Amino acid sequence: MHSSLQTKLSLPLLHRGKVRDIFDIDKDNMLIVTTDRLSAFDVVFDQPITEKGKILTSIANYWFDKTEHIIQNHLTNIRLDEVLPGNEAEALEGRAIVVKKLKPLPIEAVVRGYLIGSGWKEYLGSGSICGIDLPPNMVLAEKLKKPIFTPSSKAAPGKHDANISFKEVASLVGEDIAEQIKKISLTLYNFAEKHALSRSVIIADTKFEFGLDSENKLTLMDEILTPDSSRFWSLADYSSGKSPKSFDKQIIRDYLETLDWDKAPPAPIIPESIMNKTAEKYRDIQSILCS
């Protein structure tokens, strides 16, 4: 049966990702189970974040519902007990969803509203992100004049995603789809940012993933606007020039940066107090954004 780290079901396993386990249902649909696994710097840890999978599923479903007017998504109305035996359906309630099978596109659609993370590192080196020039003398966590689309490649397991230019996106997915992804990603970010600000939360950056349906129509997939795919900051605590407090796994990243670790497996052990604080932050952002 299900542990918070790994799922075993009567359905055939299609793929085990960093956080999600995906199972085959039929030619049109599959089951996504969001586990409590922690992934940081593209390395999967052996320690779970308590209830993380349920929290991420709940937040993503909330946003999928809220953004349907912008773009269609991968959700179906099929219930778990329609595709799983009763005991399995019950065990996965709240952390599993039945979704449409799509042809995934090989990019991560990142939108940044603030200068932080790998974008900040790239800016320090080149004054630009993904080929987009930014003003000189910007400081850490500074708000950009307007949000920018800074896509990255989808790395193979064990490798790190790399920022790429819009031109490279167009060569991977075609000019038309690339333009659609850019436009929709910025629209989604602007919509979500407005909603979050009304709850005193800043969305510093976020990433979206897209696939094509059977009619080659662009479809939003995977997860959206969760603490795993976004940086959420408290508006009350925010000021540029320093790394703001965040409602995500930044506390874990910050701890890992203090270690003599090469960001490759095996993963180090993280103190339980830090894991518990992270779980608390996930619960906090859920109650603030989705209430």
Packing angle between helix 175-197 and helix 166-173, nearest 10 degrees?
120
**124 in any annotated domain:** yes
For range 190-197, the mean pLDDT: 97
Q: Spell out a b/e string for 117-127, using b for 16 or more CB atoms within 10 Å of the CB, else e.
A: bbbbebbeeee
Strands 20-24 and 29-34 come out as antiparallel
Q: What total of structural domains would you count in the chain? A: 2
- 1, 33, 160, 173 alpha-carbon torsion, rounded to 10°: 140
What's this model's pTM, rounded to 2 decimal places?
Answer: 0.93
Which one of 101, 119, 146 terminates a domain?
Answer: 101
Position 248 scores a pLDDT of 85
**156 in any annotated domain:** yes
What range defines the domain where residue 187 resides? Answer: 104-250
Distance CA 282, CA 232 (A): 10
Distance CA 94, CA 92 (A): 6
User: What percentage of the chain carries pLDDT values higher than 70?
Assistant: 97
Specify whether 22 is located in the same domain as 34.
yes
Specify whether 41 is located in the same domain as 134.
no
**261 in any annotated domain:** no
Position 224 scores a pLDDT of 97
Q: Which of 131, 125, 56 is nearest to 97 (CA)?
A: 56
Distance CA 118, CA 126 (A): 12
Which one of 101, 129, 152 terminates a domain?
Answer: 101
Position 156 scores a pLDDT of 67
Convert the pLDDT of each residue in 219-260 to its tens digit. 999 999 999 999 999 999 999 999 898 898 888 999 999 999
Specify whether 90 is located in the same domain as 139.
no
**275 in any annotated domain:** no
With 60 as the cut, is the pLDDT of residue 3 above it? Answer: no
- The backbone torsions φ and ψ at residue 251, rounded to the nearest 5 degrees and listed phi first, read -60, -35
Specify whether 108 is located in the same domain as 246.
yes
With 50 as the cut, is the pLDDT of residue 1 above it? Answer: no
Convert the pLDDT of each residue in 26-59 to its tens digit. 999 999 999 999 999 889 999 999 999 999 999 9
Distances in whole angstroms, Cα of residue 194 to Cα of each of 17, 186, 245: 31, 12, 19
Provide the residue type at 8 as one letter: K
Specify whether 20 is located in the same domain as 66.
yes
Specify whether 111 is located in the same domain as 74.
no
Cβ atoms of 226 and 60 closer than 8 Å:
yes
**223 in any annotated domain:** yes
158: left (phi over 0), alpha (psi -120 to 50) or beta: left
Distance CA 174, CA 177 (A): 6
**286 in any annotated domain:** no
**262 in any annotated domain:** no
Specify whether 52 is located in the same domain as 116.
no
SS3 72: coil
Distance CA 280, CA 268 (A): 21
With 70 as the cut, is the pLDDT of residue 158 above it? Answer: no
CATH number at 201 reads 3.30.470.20
Q: Which of 136, 141, 78, 87 is nearest to 112 (CA)?
A: 141
